[in-house]
Structure 1
Amino acid sequence: MGKGKYPHLLGSKWTATSDTFGWRHFLVTNRKNEGGMVFAEMKSACGPDVRFWVNAKALKDRRLWLPGWVLLTDLTRQDLPAPINDSHFN
Structure 2
Amino acid sequence: MQKKQKFPYLVGSKWTAQQKIDGWRHFQVVNRKNQGKWVFAEMVAACDPLVRFWVNAKLLKNTSQWQSGWQSLQEIAEVEGYVS
TM-score interval w.r.t. the shorter chain? 0.7 to 0.9
> Could you tell me which residue of structure 2 aligns to residue 43 of structure 1?
44
> Could you tell me which residue of structure 2 aligns to residue 13 of structure 1?
14
Which structure 1 residue ranges, 4+ long, deviate > 3 Å from structure 2?
A: none
CA distance in 2, matches of 1:44, 1:79: 22
Residue 27 of structure 1 and its aligned partner are, at CA, apart by 0.3
Please give the TM-score of this superposition, normalised by the length of structure 2: 0.87
> Could you tell me which residue of structure 2 aligns to residue 24 of structure 1?
25
Q: Which runs of 5+ in 1 are unaligned?
A: 81-90
Calculate the aligned-residue CA RMSD, in Å: 1.6
Q: Which has the larger radius of gyration?
A: 2
1:6-28: CA deviations, max 9, x gaps?
00000000000010111000000
Q: Which runs of 5+ in 2 are unaligned?
A: none
> Could you tell me which residue of structure 2 aligns to residue 55 of structure 1?
56
